[in-house]
């Protein structure tokens, strides 16, 4: 749409006002992002970005992209929006939301606990604060143990928020709406593959990159939620029964519940320690659910690593280690056979496949990283 001769002055003012508003919005977003992220994690305006390659992140900041500095306002806003969706900023969103959990969900819990006895309310509040503190350590210093803890705590937080909302007398109370939105946001950010990749690389050694293997659907929709419930109930039942003066149940909770909770947590932790590792010597597969020991595939024996559809048929001589997962499927093809010990239902068997199929988080990042390690990508 053009600007007429008679309306040049007013149109110019309008354009200047629009540009000023856009600049203000850009400055506000930049300030919020810098506040949310560590200084060392954010490149300065106009500098080169960092290649993300994260599946699901949309390859938003590449090695050739720059943080907006002098482009037009609309282009700056678009580039800044892409930056805000980058993996590093997505991780910082989780940190900000987790720090704000007491403010978002706390009023809802307090309203639901008003009808409880002082001892019962104290037990619940102590456990909630302990869980929040463990989660805070987990999001600030991501490690596999913190990943396991947050995968237990975040869904439990959502369940408690739903139960608290159902017990509140006012169904449309603002505390319920904010509390449920906050709990849902935290669960969504915890399940983001970006956090899982950051956590498993928190214990990486030297020049290696770790890519988590995807959780088998058969476990994710069945045993995993049950194990999480066992952990929470096992830890809380003893103190809760003791606060209610039910000493028999308290003894059962302490003697039986806590060992069961620790055992279930140990099983869940195995899911956070399944990964494909790029090392200087080649590629290492670590998966205690499918193989007895880690397997090193030496770089010179790797013919190609291919991205394959999750529904593709597995050819003869190829070992499928996905356990039902399909998203993020890759096939590592070798120039010969490799020896590994397959574990399945408590039984071990030595196999010699010439290629392996696995499903990982961050497939796009893996395929981007492989050429830098002199491994061919098909």
pLDDT of residue 81: 65
pLDDT of residue 175: 84
Decide if pLDDT at 284 tops 90.
yes
The dihedral over CA atoms of 85, 87, 93, 99, expressed in degrees to the nearest 10, equals 180
Q: Name the pLDDT band for 26 (thresholds 50, 70, 90).
A: very low
pLDDT of residue 234: 94
**How confident is the model over 253-268, as pLDDT tens digits?**
999 999 999 999 999 9
**Are 340 and 321 a contacting pair, CB within 8 Å?**
no
**Over pLDDT 90: what percentage of the chain?**
51
Decide if pLDDT at 13 tops 50.
no
Phi, psi of 20, rounded to the nearest 5 degrees: -65, -45
**Rounded CA gap, 90 and 111, in Å?**
31
Which of the two residues, 237 and 69, has the higher pLDDT score?
237
Decide if pLDDT at 72 tops 50.
yes
Average the pLDDT over 236-262 and give the result. 92
Average the pLDDT over 49-53 and give the result. 38
Secondary-structure percent of the chain, ordered helix, strand, coil, rounded to 5: 55, 15, 30
Q: Provide the 3-class DSSP secondary structure of residue 272.
A: coil
Other CB atoms within a 10 A radius of the CB of residue 251 amount to 14
Average the pLDDT over 295-304 and give the result. 94
pLDDT of residue 28: 35
Phi, psi of 15, rounded to the nearest 5 degrees: -65, -40
Phi, psi of 280, rounded to the nearest 5 degrees: -55, -30
Decide if pLDDT at 47 tops 80.
no
pLDDT of residue 117: 78
Decide if pLDDT at 205 tops 70.
yes
**Rounded CA gap, 210 and 148, in Å?**
16
pLDDT of residue 150: 96
H, E, C per residue of 104-154: HHHHHHHHHHHHCCHHHHHHHHHHHHHHHHHHHHHHHCCCHHHHHHHHHHH
pLDDT of residue 83: 66
pLDDT of residue 312: 83
pLDDT of residue 210: 95
pLDDT of residue 82: 67
> Which positions ≥6 away from 96 have C-beta within 8 Å?
36
Q: Name the pLDDT band for 172 (thresholds 50, 70, 90).
A: low
Which of the two residues, 137 and 63, has the higher pLDDT score?
137
pLDDT of residue 85: 65
DSSP H/E element including 241: helix 223-243
Q: Name the pLDDT band for 29 (thresholds 50, 70, 90).
A: very low
**Rounded CA gap, 144 and 258, in Å?**
22
Which of the two residues, 194 and 79, has the higher pLDDT score?
194
When mean pLDDT is compared across 20-34, 151-165, 217-231, 358-372, the lowest value belongs to: 20-34
Phi, psi of 315, rounded to the nearest 5 degrees: -80, 170
Average pLDDT of every residue of the chain: 80
Which residues are bridge partners to 296 per DSSP?
284
DSSP state string for 5-49:
STTHHHHHHHHHHHHHHHHHHHHHHHHHHHHHS-GGGSPPTTSB-
Decide if pLDDT at 186 tops 60.
yes
**The two structure tokens encoding residue 110:** 């307090």
**Are 370 and 377 a contacting pair, CB within 8 Å?**
yes
**Are 317 and 354 a contacting pair, CB within 8 Å?**
yes
Q: Is 171 exposed, middle or buried (0-12, 13-18, 19+ CB in 10 A)?
A: exposed
When mean pLDDT is compared across 29-33, 261-265, 344-348, 368-372, the lowest value belongs to: 29-33
Q: Is 24 exposed, middle or buried (0-12, 13-18, 19+ CB in 10 A)?
A: exposed
Which of the two residues, 83 and 271, has the higher pLDDT score?
271
- For the entire predicted model, the pTM comes to 0.76
**Rounded CA gap, 229 and 7, in Å?**
67
Give, to the nearest 10 degrees, the angle between helix 223-243 and helix 258-271. 150
**Over pLDDT 70: what percentage of the chain?**
78
């Amino acid at each position: 749409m053009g600007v007429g001769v008679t309306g040049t002055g007013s149109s110019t003012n309008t354009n200047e006002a629009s540009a000023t508003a856009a600049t203000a919005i850009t400055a506000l977003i930049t300030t919020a992002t810098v506040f949310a992220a560590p200084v060392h994690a954010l490149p300065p305006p106009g500098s080169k970005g960092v290649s993300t390659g994260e599946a699901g992140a949309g390859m938003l900041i590449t090695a050739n992209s720059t943080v907006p500095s002098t482009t037009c306002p609309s282009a700056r806003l678009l580039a800044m929006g892409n930056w805000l969706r980058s993996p590093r900023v997505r991780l910082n969103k989780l940190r900000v939301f987790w720090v704000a959990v007491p403010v978002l969900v706390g009023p809802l819990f307090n309203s639901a606990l008003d009808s409880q006895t002082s001892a019962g309310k104290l037990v619940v509040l102590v456990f909630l604060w302990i869980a929040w503190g463990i989660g805070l350590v987990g999001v600030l210093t991501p490690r596999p143990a913190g990943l396991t803890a947050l995968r237990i705590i975040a869904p439990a937080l959502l369940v408690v928020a739903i139960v608290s909302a159902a017990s509140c007398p006012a169904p449309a109370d603002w505390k319920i709406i904010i509390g449920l939105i906050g709990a849902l946001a935290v669960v969504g950010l915890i399940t983001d593959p970006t956090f899982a990749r950051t956590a498993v690389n928190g214990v990486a050694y030297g020049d290696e990159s770790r890519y988590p293997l995807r959780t088998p659907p058969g476990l994710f929709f069945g045993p995993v939620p049950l194990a999480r419930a066992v952990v929470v109930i096992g830890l809380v039942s003893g103190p809760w029964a003791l606060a209610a003066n039910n000493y028999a149940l308290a003894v059962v909770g302490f003697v039986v519940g806590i060992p069961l909770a620790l055992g279930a947590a140990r099983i869940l932790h195995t899911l956070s320690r399944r990964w494909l590792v790029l090392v200087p010597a080649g590629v290492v597969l670590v998966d205690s659910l499918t193989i007895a020991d880690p397997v090193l595939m030496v770089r010179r024996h790797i013919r190609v690593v291919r991205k394959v559809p999750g529904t593709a048929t597995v050819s003869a001589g190829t070992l499928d280690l996905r356990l039902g997962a399909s998203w993020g499927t890759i096939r590592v093809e070798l120039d010969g056979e490799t020896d590994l010990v397959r574990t399945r239902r408590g039984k071990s068997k030595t196999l010699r496949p010439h290629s392996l199929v696995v499903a990982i988080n961050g497939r796009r990042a893996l395929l981007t990283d492989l050429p830098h390690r002199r491994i061919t990508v098909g």
